[in-house]
Amino acid sequence: MPGRLTGSARAVSPRNQRIPSVPTLARFLREAQTAVKLRGQVTVLLTTDTAIRRLNRQFRGKNKATDVLSFPAAQGPVKIAGDLAISIPTARRQSEERRHSLSIEIKVLILHGLLHLAGYDHEIDTGEMARHEQKIRSRLRLPHGLIERTMRSRTKVNAPSLPESYSGKGRRPRNPGGVRS
């Protein structure tokens, strides 16, 4: 079932910071869902830092804005994979820091969120989600993903490449109530 939407490095200009069209993002969502092998409807909400902070506080107990939240759907007769919420102001800041377009950053965030909907969790695995994200990003011609960025910044400050909280093996069972970032 195709997803639906609501709401290469180059110099950053105002034109590169425009929100991509719904057809452009819907096309990417279908392509990324196929690459992730995630079946079912996915709804993507493009929102504000204030709204995503509220969702993050309500569902994860973290009172801060974030770039993407994933809401896996409860399993039922209708095939719905879940919902993603993406903060446009955060995505815009991250795209400027990385000197690529807002469109590219939103696509990176969609891919990351889809992997969470598929059951991957970088907070508890031993790098499986990061490896899978890297492989798919390469196929979709996207720059560094969220996990890889985090790992690079930790390496720069001589921190361990994987947080001590990483344990377990890869994908966790679908957790309908579990929101992930």
Condensed to tens digits (0 to 9), the pLDDT of residues 162-171 reads 332 323 334 4
Sheet harboring 68-72: ordered strands across? Answer: 4-6, 41-47, 80-87, 68-72
Which sign, positive or negative, has the C-alpha torsion 150, 155, 158, 162? Answer: positive
What CATH code is assigned to 4-113?
3.40.390.30
- Predicted TM-score of the model (pTM): 0.77
Give φ, ψ of 180 to 5 degrees: -130, 155
Give 3-32 pLDDT, tens digit per residue.
555 543 344 457 778 999 999 999 999 999
Selected residue with higher pLDDT from 17 and 77: 17
Give 96-154 pLDDT, tens digit per residue.
998 899 999 999 999 999 999 999 998 898 889 999 999 999 999 998 766 665 655 55
Selected residue with higher pLDDT from 55 and 10: 55
Domain boundaries, the chain: 4-113
Amino acid at 79: K
Which sign, positive or negative, has the C-alpha torsion 80, 176, 62, 93? Answer: negative
Q: Which parts of 37-145 fold into alpha helices (H)?
A: 49-60, 88-98, 102-117, 128-139
